[in-house]
Amino acid sequence: MISSCGISELSSPSSWDTYHNPRYNFEFPYPSNWQALPMPENLDGQVFRDPQNPSVEIRGWAKLLEAAVSPTTGVNSSSVETQLPKSTGCEIASSQPQNFTTNQGFRGKMQVEIGEQISSMKLTLSQGEVVYNWQGQSKSETFADYYRLFYEIASEYRIPTPED
């Protein structure tokens, strides 16, 4: 638990929109006044930025597990994932314990990283041959203000059910 992220002064948005991914069929809410950045050509996800604080971003994306990628199609390097800052080992391995359950009932791995400059909250869910991700990030000095908002959005992240 992060004690510095206890009480947030940032209030919950009064109006929400829902992003729905056309390629992988996942969705998550975002504050309706946040700005969408251009979607990558491969349609793997979307990034939203707080217009009042452009260093604050949320993003959702999905990808096929490496073993499921067709050698004939390859992987498009223009993706939401490639727009992320260099990872410090935050990728989930299927053997890592799951510690988070979405409101939809899917279990996944939630990781919070507090850095010197940037801090983030990342949710990773796997189903079938697809890995679904959501991340909220901000400057470290404002992360406590956004923690509850990030947690609320991660809780509402939805992926297709096996029946879909």
Percent of the chain exceeding pLDDT 70 equals: 74
Asked if residue 107 has pLDDT above 70, the reply is yes
- Tens of pLDDT along 77-97? 445 554 554 333 334 444 568
- Confidence label for 5 from pLDDT (cuts 50, 70 and 90): very low
- Confidence label for 37 from pLDDT (cuts 50, 70 and 90): very high
pTM of the complete model beyond 0.85: no
Q: Give the dihedral sign, CA 42/61/85/32.
A: positive
- Higher-pLDDT residue of 26 and 78 is 26
- Bridge partners for 128 per DSSP: none
* DSSP symbol at 145: H
What local confidence, expressed as pLDDT, does residue 44 receive? 92
What local confidence, expressed as pLDDT, does residue 20 receive? 96
- Residue 157's nearest CA partner among 107, 82, 97, 112 is 107
A 10 A CB-CB count for 159 gives 24
Task: Give the chain's mean pLDDT.
Answer: 82
Domains of the chain: 16-85+94-155 (3.40.1000.10)
